[in-house]
Amino acid sequence: MATDPGPRAVNAAMDPKSLYREEIFTDRAVGTLRVLTPVKVDGAPDTSRPTVYQGEAQLMTNMGPLPISFEVPATTLAEAVAKYADAAKEGVAHAMRELQEMRRQASSSIVIPQGGALPPGGMPGGGKIQLP
């Protein structure tokens, strides 16, 4: 449920076994890569976990820029840079599918006026013109 804060909101303690150091790389033109390097609680690299490469881009819409975030399957920074374009295309396609699903759900939802059920006979007229 969207209003349920969940167990993490109650216990805001960080998990010392899930720490990452974050570095940001950008070409200042097309996109940004976040490199999340796993670290131990003392800050030393944790070689038992893989480095995560996350791409970021913006999709321009009529409502303004829409930030898109996506994982880039890679094991090195060079590989992540090379695979960025394909991962960005998939990230945008995924975002478009989600937007279409949200539109579909919004258009098929039934709106019930506040106050509960409709009055007998349906919705009352809303205009000022009254027939005798």
- Residue with tokens 């506040």, as numbered in its chain: 114
- Residue with tokens 């279409």, as numbered in its chain: 100
Beta strands 32-38; 52-61: pairing state: antiparallel
Ranges in the chain, pLDDT < 70: 1-9, 110-132
Residue 33 is classified by DSSP as: E
Distance CA 1, CA 69 (A): 23
Q: What is the pLDDT of residue 1?
A: 47
Q: What is the pLDDT of residue 74?
A: 97
Distance CA 125, CA 122 (A): 9
Enter the tokens of residue 113: 């006026």
